[in-house]
């Protein structure tokens, strides 16, 4: 059995477990067995700063010490490199060595032949989703290739993660200032692509857009940069149930930050807390089974 075949088997097993866990979450006595799924981490090096946890083994150990049993990993290389196939191959191999991580490939829609990179993510690496960085790659969500990506991903039953930001615009390197992704075009797009599943990484919610996203069931959010002591419960309420994933943006951010933020207000009851920590991610990942 090849490594990719092995991963395919494990991905299938994970999906089956996900279905089982969602069921178990309903039973009160099973609550403490629920895993934590971190839907937003990255591997390898950020070019402007070393992080204490940017060695994969150390990141895995830290996340596991916090109770995380699965982490969806993109690659910092995917933000900056142009040999995206090489980026994704290294990511796949690294995740194979550290099975806590589930690889999420990168796609740069401004590069010639990005469709081949996408197909390799799906067909060769059996990735359950891909991650895009429109602001770093220099396009808006109105770019026709983005609509094509949504179609291709939906057809393959995979999700798309949009990294809305990687870093606070106020602290970025002066040579590489990058505005957050403008998400306004996403609303009409998702009305046209109702089978698309999109996870907004590192998004700081804005009330007007949130109201529009509320009617689009394929849009999911994460906890990484939603700040304020009651911010997560408010986001859960604003987006309708089941749409907020736990995401830490580690190792860029300290993983404890998002984890504590999820529960610090005491406003989420145990069941809602469990859904944010794992249940919603398990439901979201089932895009590949739809």
Interface ranges with another protein (CB under 8 A): 28, 31-32, 36, 49-53, 66-67, 167-174, 177, 225, 227-231, 250-270, 273-274, 277
Alpha carbon 75 to chain centroid, angstroms: 11
CB of 255 to another protein, least distance (A): 7
Residues 6+ apart with CB under 8 A from 131: 74, 78, 104, 105, 106, 107, 160, 161, 162, 163, 201
Could you tell me the smallest distance in angstroms from the CB atom of residue 272 to another protein?
9
Nearer to another protein (CB atom), residue 96 or residue 136: 136
Cβ closest to another protein, residue 49 vs residue 97: 49
| 288 contacts 125 by C-beta, under 8 angstroms | no
Q: Tell me which long-range contacts 66-69 makes (C-beta under 8 A, separation of at least 24).
A: 66/36, 66/255, 66/256, 66/259, 67/35, 67/36, 68/35, 68/36, 68/37, 68/38, 68/100, 68/255, 69/35, 69/36, 69/37, 69/100
How far apart are CB 230 and another protein at their closest, in Å?
A: 7
Residue with smaller CB distance to another protein, 2 or 171:
171
The nearer residue to another protein, 66 or 145, going by C-beta atoms, is 66
Phi and psi torsions of 89, nearest 5°: -65, -45
- Rounded-to-integer distance, Cα 53 and Cα 103, Å: 18
Specify the residue, 1 or 179, whose C-beta has the smaller distance to another protein.
179
Complex with another protein: residue 125 or 225, whichever CB lies closer: 225
Quote the tokens at residue 156: 């393959």
Residue placing its CB nearer to another protein in the complex, 124 or 230: 230
Q: Give the separation between CA 237 and CA 243, rounded to whole angstroms.
A: 10
* Shortest separation between residue 173's beta carbon and another protein, angstroms: 7
CB of 179 to another protein, least distance (A): 11
CA neighbor of 261 nearest in space, from 221, 219, 233: 233
Rounded to the nearest whole angstrom, what is the least distance from the CB of residue 231 to another protein in the complex?
7
For the CB of residue 63, give the shortest distance to another protein in the complex, in Å: 11
HSE of 241 in the Cβ direction (CA atoms, 13 Å)?
8
188 CA to centre of own chain: 22
């Amino acid at each position: 059995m090849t490594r990719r075949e092995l991963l395919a088997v494990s991905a299938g097993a994970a999906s089956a477990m996900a279905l089982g866990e969602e069921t178990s979450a309903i039973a009160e006595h099973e609550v403490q067995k629920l895993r934590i799924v971190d839907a937003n981490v990255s591997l390898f090096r950020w070019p402007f700063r070393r992080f204490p946890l940017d060695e994969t083994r150390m990141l895995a150990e830290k996340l596991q010490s916090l109770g995380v049993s699965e982490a969806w990993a993109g690659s910092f290389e995917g933000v900056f490199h142009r040999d995206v196939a090489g980026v994704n191959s290294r990511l796949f191999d690294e995740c194979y060595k550290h099975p806590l991580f589930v690889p999420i490939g990168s796609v740069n829609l401004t590069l010639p032949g990005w469709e081949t990179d996408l197909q390799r993510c799906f067909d060769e690496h059996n990735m359950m989703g891909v991650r895009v960085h429109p602001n770093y790659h220099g396009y808006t969500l109105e770019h026709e290739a983005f609509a094509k990506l949504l179609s291709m991903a939906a057809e393959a039953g995979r999700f798309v993660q949009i990294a809305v930001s990687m870093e606070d615009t106020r602290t970025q390197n002066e040579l590489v200032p990058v505005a957050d992704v403008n998400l306004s075009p996403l609303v009409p797009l998702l009305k046209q692509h109702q089978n698309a599943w999109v996870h907004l990484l590192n998004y700081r919610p804005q009330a007007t857009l949130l109201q529009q996203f509320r009617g689009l069931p394929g849009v999911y959010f994460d906890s990484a940069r939603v700040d304020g002591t009651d911010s997560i419960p408010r986001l859960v309420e604003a987006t309708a149930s089941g749409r907020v994933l736990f995401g830490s943006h580690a190792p860029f951010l300290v993983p404890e930050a998002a984890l504590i933020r999820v529960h610090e207000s005491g406003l989420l009851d145990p069941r809602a807390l469990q859904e944010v920590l794992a249940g919603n991610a398990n439901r979201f990942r089932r895009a590949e089974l739809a």
